[in-house]
Amino acid sequence: MGQKTTQSSVITRRALGQLVLGTAGVAGAAALGRWSVTVTKPTPVTGDPVALPRADRRVANLVGAERKLEGAGFPVRRPFPIAAMDQVDPFVLLDEFGPVDWAPGKALGAPDHPHRGFEAVSYLLQGRNNHADSMGNRGELGPGDVQWMTTGGGIVHAEMPHDEILRDGGRMHGFQIWVNLPARLKMTAPRYQEVKSARFPVATTPDGLARVRVVAGQALGVAARIDTLTPIVYQHWTLMPGAEVVQPVAADHNACVYVFGGRCEIGSEATPVGDGQLAIVGPGEALRLAMSRDASAHKAELLLLAGVPHREPVARMGPFVMNTQAELRQAWVDYRDGRMGRIPG
C-alpha cells in the first residue's frame, strides 16, 4: 500500500561524489544532476479491512501528481516519489512523460546513465523512442510498445527520441514505472525485454464501455505473458460514460490507480478521481472502476498497478534503488570504475 517516509537522511549529490568518487569524481557526479539519498522503512497507509466488503477495495488516499523535469529536460507528471507519497510498495516510481509536442530539432531524452536494483518499465502511448544499453541491446519503441529492463546488478542505458521525432518534431507521451527488486535479487543479472504492441492482449466488456490493455497480470479473461521478477499487475483501462467493471486484485497485492485523462469513480465508495490524481487503494480482493453516465468528458484513461510488497527498507538516490546507504555508495563506485559497462559505439 502507499507509504510515507519514516526514516531518511539526505546527502547532496556533490557530497556523495566526494565521499565515494574522490575529488576527481565530483565533476562527473555533478554532470548527472543533483540527487538526494533517502532510506525508507515501510509504514503502510492505515486502512480498516474489517469495514470493507470481502470482494471490494476502497480508496484510502488521494495524491496529486507533481510536475518535474527529467533526463535532459523532458517534462513529467509524477505522483510518486514526492513529499506526499514516497512509494507504493513494490513500486518506487511512476512518471507520466508528456504529453509534449516537440518542435523540429527540439526533442529531448535521457542520455547515457546507470541503474541498479529494480526493473524499469517504459510504456509508450504516442511517439517513437530509441533504446541502447551496455549489454549491447538496441531497440525502438512505438505507440503501445513496452520496454521492460531488469537493471539488477547494474546497467548503463540511454532513451532518446527517434530520428524522425528529432528531425520533424511530434508528440511524445507515455509512462515509466520502477518496480523494486527484493534484496535477494538486487544484484541479479541485467535483462532487457522489448515487447511490441501487438503482443499485449486487449479485451472489452460486453457492453463495449470498458477496454483494457494488459501489460502484466490478467483482466476480462486475457493475460499478459511478460516475465516479471516481482508479481505485479499493470493494466491500461479506458472507460466510457456508463462503464462499470469489478476487477479482481489479489488480497496480498498493494494497489493504486493513476488517472491521466478524464474523471472516473474508484472503489466501493465511488470516490471521484480526476486527471493527474493517484488513488491509493485499501485492502480487499476486487476493485470497482466506473465512469458516470453524465460525465462531461467523453472517456477516462487510467493505469491500474498492483503488486506483492517487499516490506524492506528502501535506499534510493537518482538512478539506484538499494536497501542501505552503503549499497548506494558501492553502486556509485562500481559505476565510476566501469563495472556497469559502457554503451557500445
3-state secondary structure at position 49: helix
* Alpha-carbon gap, residue 297 to 300, rounded angstroms: 7
* Alpha-carbon gap, residue 79 to 76, rounded angstroms: 10
3-state secondary structure at position 299: coil
pLDDT over 80 (residue 42): no
**Per-residue pLDDT averaged across 321-339, rounded?**
97
Sorting pLDDT into bands at 50, 70 and 90, what band is 72? confident
Residue 116 · residue 150 · CB < 8 Å: no
**What is the enclosing helix (H) or strand (E) of 13?**
helix 13-16
Q: What is the pLDDT of residue 73?
A: 83
3-state secondary structure at position 39: strand
Residue 81: is the preceding peptide bond cis (ω within 30°)? Answer: yes
Domains of the chain as residue ranges with CATH: 200-307 (2.60.120.10)
**Per-residue pLDDT averaged across 40-62, rounded?**
57
Residues in the chain: 345
Sorting pLDDT into bands at 50, 70 and 90, what band is 71? confident
Sorting pLDDT into bands at 50, 70 and 90, what band is 2? low
pLDDT over 80 (residue 211): yes
DSSP states along 169-212: -EEEEEEEEEEEPPGGGTTSPPEEEEE-GGGS-EEE-TTSSEEE
